[in-house]
């Protein structure tokens, strides 16, 4: 699943980035930012790996594949239910201490998952994995922003977020392949080892920042009512909901087009263009945030229209998938950056709202897509995107003063 703004005045001594000098004015602290990227990588891999290892986990835990699928659902529920209250409760904690708690939590829950032979215990571990994920996503972008001068904050967030698309496009296929060779338990054990390495990396290379003093903490309502926060949340919800309506059911959509044997290749195209999107967003976000959000929304609409009208044409479907990846790849960075810049010293609370909205959209996309699949058929899925995305584009366009401001 964050703050791009400087901390409040009471925290400036501890939390303010180093003053810009000729030596550091355009230099990113890559070692620290890549530690955050690895944290994002582990978070996404922990979330989605059970889907790729479903048959092995089902046989080993003596549970149906449908029940194993709930391990992913329980993870999302953990983030959905706890991201906002935990972030609000820990506003006063020093940031690195909180980051280390979230990361260490992954070492614990992935170790339990690797060793557990009891489905119920594994389910509980997955819920707490989601809890730690929600906390980490609420911290990561804001942490990255505080490590650099203001004019580099968007680029820093892009570097910190690159772990997510890397996990989706490379980590999960590799983990699935590795699980087939050496077993799913070893895969979760490897993630625990990576997490322990990451803890040392964070201690050595990631700076610490103060939390907010009691007098400067903002309530959930105060942050939610800030101009621009609600438009960013709405656009995030509509954008991610549209993505998950189709992405969750991409296999039956491709099967209907006679491309059932090409699912892995289609997802590879999506992953590669998503990585390209992350790179482009990282280069341009500090100057062109609004333009990137609007162009991503337009690209997504064009991609949905192509997929809706493809009529079984593999060429059109591949082109639509490529545009979809290009539109969606940088979305997390764009929305987190917009939220953080808009919320000011309430940015961490605003980021917890982004985490909650994102997980709502994941759950809602799966539910809405499933209903459409059963009642209207697979061809209705891309048309649903064309209902969700134009309002998102309109809200983003109108939020030119706050939320997605014109520079």
Mean pLDDT across the stretch 19-37? 75
pLDDT exceeds 90 at position 325: yes
Q: State the residue range of the domain holding 33.
A: 11-216
Retrieve residue 382's tokens: 């891309």
Write down which residue in 188, 216, 244 finishes a domain: 216
Are 228 and 167 contained in the same domain?
no
Could you tell me if 54 and 69 are in contact, meaning their C-beta atoms sit under 8 angstroms apart?
yes
Are 287 and 174 contained in the same domain?
no
Q: Is residue 4 part of a domain?
A: no
Q: 54-90, pLDDT tens digit by residue?
A: 788 889 999 887 788 788 878 888 998 999 899 888 9
Q: Is residue 404 part of a domain?
A: no
- Residue entry with tokens 């791009």: 4
CA-CA distance, 9 to 159, in Å (whole number)? 27
Are 209 and 224 contained in the same domain?
no
Are 152 and 260 contained in the same domain?
no
Q: Residue 336 belongs to a domain with what CATH number? A: 1.20.1250.20
Write down which residue in 183, 216, 249 finishes a domain: 216
Are 243 and 203 contained in the same domain?
no
Give the closest residue to 355 by CA, choosing from 93, 105, 14, 78. Answer: 78
Instruction: Enumerate the H helices of 18-171 as residue ranges.
Output: 30-52, 54-61, 65-89, 95-115, 119-146, 153-161, 163-166
Are 160 and 30 contained in the same domain?
yes
Are 297 and 208 contained in the same domain?
no
- Residue entry with tokens 């499933």: 370
Mean pLDDT across the stretch 140-150? 87
Write down which residue in 216, 238, 256 finishes a domain: 216
Q: Is residue 263 part of a domain?
A: yes
Q: Is residue 244 part of a domain?
A: yes
- Residue entry with tokens 């621009």: 228
Q: 365-400, pLDDT tens digit by residue?
A: 878 888 888 899 989 999 999 999 999 999 999 999
Q: Is residue 31 part of a domain?
A: yes
User: What integer pLDDT is reported at residue 373 of this predicted model?
Assistant: 87
Are 191 and 230 contained in the same domain?
no
Q: How far is CA 189 from CA 58, 110, 135, 181, 299, in A?
A: 18, 7, 22, 14, 40
Longest dimension (CA), the chain: 62
Are 184 and 240 contained in the same domain?
no
Q: How many independent structural domains does the chain possess? A: 2
Q: Is residue 242 part of a domain?
A: yes
Q: Is residue 61 part of a domain?
A: yes
Are 258 and 195 contained in the same domain?
no
pTM of the model: 0.78
Q: 229-252, pLDDT tens digit by residue?
A: 999 999 999 999 999 889 878 888
Q: Is residue 405 part of a domain?
A: no
Give the closest residue to 337 by CA, choosing from 213, 154, 130. Answer: 154
Are 250 and 364 contained in the same domain?
yes
Are 160 and 258 contained in the same domain?
no
């Amino acid at each position: 699943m964050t703050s791009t703004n400087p901390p409040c005045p009471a925290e400036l001594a501890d939390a303010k980035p180093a003053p810009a000098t000729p030596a550091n004015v355009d230099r990113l602290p890559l070692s620290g930012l890549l530690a955050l990227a690895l944290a994002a990588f582990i978070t996404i891999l922990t979330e989605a790996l059970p889907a790729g290892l479903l048959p092995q986990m089902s046989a080993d835990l003596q549970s149906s594949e449908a029940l194993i699928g709930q391990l992913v659902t329980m993870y999302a529920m953990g983030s959905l239910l706890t991201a906002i209250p935990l972030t609000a409760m820990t506003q006063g904690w020093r940031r690195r201490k909180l980051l280390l708690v979230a990361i260490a939590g992954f070492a614990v829950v992935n170790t339990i998952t690797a060793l557990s032979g009891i489905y119920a215990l594994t389910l509980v571990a997955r819920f707490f994995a989601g809890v730690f994920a929600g906390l980490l996503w609420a911290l990561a972008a804001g942490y990255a922003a505080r490590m650099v001068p203001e004019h580099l904050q968007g680029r820093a967030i892009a570097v910190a977020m690159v772990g997510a698309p890397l996990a989706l496009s490379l980590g999960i296929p590799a983990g699935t392949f590795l699980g087939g060779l050496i077993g799913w338990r070893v895969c979760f054990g490897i993630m625990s080892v990576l997490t322990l390495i990451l803890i040392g990396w964070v201690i050595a290379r990631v700076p610490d920042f103060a939390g907010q003093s009691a007098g400067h903490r903002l309530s959930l309502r105060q942050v939610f009512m800030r101009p621009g926060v609600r438009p960013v949340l709405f656009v995030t919800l509509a954008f991610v909901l549209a993505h998950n309506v189709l992405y969750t059911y991409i296999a039956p959509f491709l099967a209907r087009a006679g491309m059932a044997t090409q699912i892995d290749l289609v997802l590879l195209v999506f992953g590669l263009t998503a990585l390209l999107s992350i790179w482009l967003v990282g280069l341009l976000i500090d100057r062109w945030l609004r333009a990137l959000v609007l162009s991503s929304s337009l690209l997504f609409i064009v991609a949905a229209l192509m997929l809706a009208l493809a009529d079984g044409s593999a060429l059109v479907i591949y082109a639509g998938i490529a545009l979809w990846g290009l539109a969606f790849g940088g979305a997390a960075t764009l929305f987190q950056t917009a939220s953080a810049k808009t919320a000011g010293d309430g940015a961490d609370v605003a980021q917890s709202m982004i985490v909650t909205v994102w997980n709502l959209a994941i759950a809602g996309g799966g539910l809405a897509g499933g209903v459409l699949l059963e009642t209207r058929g697979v061809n209705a899925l891309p048309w649903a995107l064309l209902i969700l995305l134009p309002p998102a584009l309109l809200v983003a366009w109108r939020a030119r003063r706050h939320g997605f401001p014109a520079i």
